[in-house]
């Protein structure tokens, strides 16, 4: 879908804003060419319109040229923003805002995002072992909303969890910084750390045999934590790292503690109870 960004005048305000708001919310930006904060906010709003393409309309009113509209809506300072829904003004924001503030204000009025439903279906299919169906559903989701970067993060994670590490890393490299710096992106990048842990390790059978002969072998404990995380056993991986921290806290400049903290951040939203359990155990070892 195309982003809907329009310039609004006194002549077309009713049609462009009030009538269109019966179908999708309309965010009206009252601005002026001389206004510095207006110029700072405008690119952010235009990007949001692209990210949420088809789900709301960004209507721009130049108050220098449209003074009647500015007076009608009692614009005393700019930038000033008003959200219209179902023909009515439903919310106002004053002054420069963050992108998340605009998104939060729009959220109650946005049209449902089909791509999010398809993402959920894809995850359910993947969990049920229906790999090809999951990939197809993510493809459908991407067509429904090409700007939803979470779809591509889901795909990278599925590649990762199914052992296609090269595909996962290649896809992650192509993603925009916004995706990489998102909560989901950082979580996925943390997972890649475990691929690096095992990259130069012996095979898992050799690592396990080493630990049978020497249960406190720091290198083997570290490598086993990587294998366990990659095989989707985060609880066992964290147990391994806790043991490593208890027997060799200074191993590789304290890598056990650093990796545990990264793992906590990665799993906090998905497995909060598990994280809290192991976080307490780490605190007990620290204090």
Which DSSP symbol is given to 17? I
In degrees to the nearest 10, what's the CA dihedral of 177, 178, 180, 182?
160
- pTM, two decimals, is 0.54
Q: Quote the mean pLDDT of the chain.
A: 91
- Is residue 204 a contact partner of residue 224, using CB atoms and an 8 Å limit? yes
> Can you give the length of the chain in residues?
287
pLDDT per residue as tens digits for the range 33-57: 999 999 999 999 999 998 887 789 9
- Is residue 121 a contact partner of residue 64, using CB atoms and an 8 Å limit? no
Mean of pLDDT values over 108-119 = 86
Helix axes 234-247, 255-267, angle to 10 degrees: 150
DSSP E strand stretches across 11-149:
26-31, 57-62, 80-85, 88-94
Mean of pLDDT values over 228-257 = 94
Residue with token string 């056993």? 233
- Is residue 172 a contact partner of residue 195, using CB atoms and an 8 Å limit? no
- Residue 1's pLDDT band, with cuts at 50, 70 and 90, is low
Among 143-147, 168-172, 227-231, the range scoring the smallest mean pLDDT is 143-147
- Residue 146's pLDDT band, with cuts at 50, 70 and 90, is confident
CA distance readout (Å), 234 to 169, 191, 224, 238: 20, 11, 11, 6
pLDDT per residue as tens digits for the range 182-198: 778 887 887 788 888 98
Pick the CATH number of 197-286 from 3.30.310, 1.25.40, 1.10.3470, 3.10.580: 1.25.40
Residue with token string 């049609």? 15
CATH architecture of 114-181: Alpha Horseshoe (1.25)
> What is the pLDDT, as a whole number, of residue 172?
87
Mean of pLDDT values over 78-90 = 95
- Is residue 29 a contact partner of residue 96, using CB atoms and an 8 Å limit? no
Catalytic residue among 35, 83, 218, 230: 35
> What is the pLDDT, as a whole number, of residue 3?
80
The CATH homologous superfamily to which domain 4-109 belongs is Glutaredoxin (3.40.30.10)
Cα–Cα dist 38/18, whole Å: 23
Count CB neighbours of 74 within 10 A: 8
Is residue 35 annotated as a catalytic residue, yes or no?
yes
Cα–Cα dist 56/59, whole Å: 10
Domains 114-181 and 197-286 share a fold: yes
Higher pLDDT, 231 or 254: 254
Count CB neighbours of 53 within 10 A: 16
Catalytic residue among 4, 8, 27, 38: 38
The residue ranges of every structural domain in the chain are 4-109, 114-181, 197-286
CA distance readout (Å), 1 to 144, 146, 201: 8, 8, 47
> What is the pLDDT, as a whole number, of residue 28?
97
Is residue 240 annotated as a catalytic residue, yes or no?
no
């Amino acid at each position: 879908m195309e982003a809907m960004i329009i310039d609004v005048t006194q002549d077309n305000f009713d049609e462009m804003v009030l009538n269109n708001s019966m179908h999708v919310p309309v965010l009206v930006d009252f601005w002026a060419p001389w206004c510095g904060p207006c110029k700072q906010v405008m690119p952010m709003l235009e990007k949001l319109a692209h990210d949420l393409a088809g789900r709301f309309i960004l209507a721009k009113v130049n108050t220098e040229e449209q003074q009647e509209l500015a007076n009608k809506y009692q614009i005393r300072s700019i930038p000033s923003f008003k959200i219209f829904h179902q023909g009515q003004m439903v919310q106002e924001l004053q002054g420069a805002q963050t992108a998340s503030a605009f998104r939060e204000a729009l959220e109650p009025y946005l049209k449902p995002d089909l791509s999010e439903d398809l993402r959920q279906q894809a995850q359910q299919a993947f969990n049920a072992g229906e790999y090809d169906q999951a990939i197809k559903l993510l493809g459908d989701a991407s067509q429904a909303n090409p700007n939803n970067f979470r779809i591509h993060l889901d795909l990278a994670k599925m590649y990762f969890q199914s052992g296609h590490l090269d595909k996962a890393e290649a896809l992650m490299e192509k993603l925009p910084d916004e995706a990489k710096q998102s909560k989901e992106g950082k979580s996925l990048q943390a997972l890649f750390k475990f691929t690096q842990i095992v990259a130069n390790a012996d095979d898992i059978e050799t690592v396990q045999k080493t630990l049978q002969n020497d249960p406190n072998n720091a290198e083997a404990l570290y490598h086993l934590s990587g294998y366990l995380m990659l095989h989707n056993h985060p609880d066992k991986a964290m147990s391994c790292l806790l043991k490593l921290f208890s027997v060799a806290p200074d191993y590789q400049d304290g890598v056990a503690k650093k990796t545990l903290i990264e793992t906590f951040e990665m799993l906090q939203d998905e497995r909060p109870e598990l994280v809290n359990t192991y976080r307490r155990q780490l605190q007990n070892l620290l204090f």
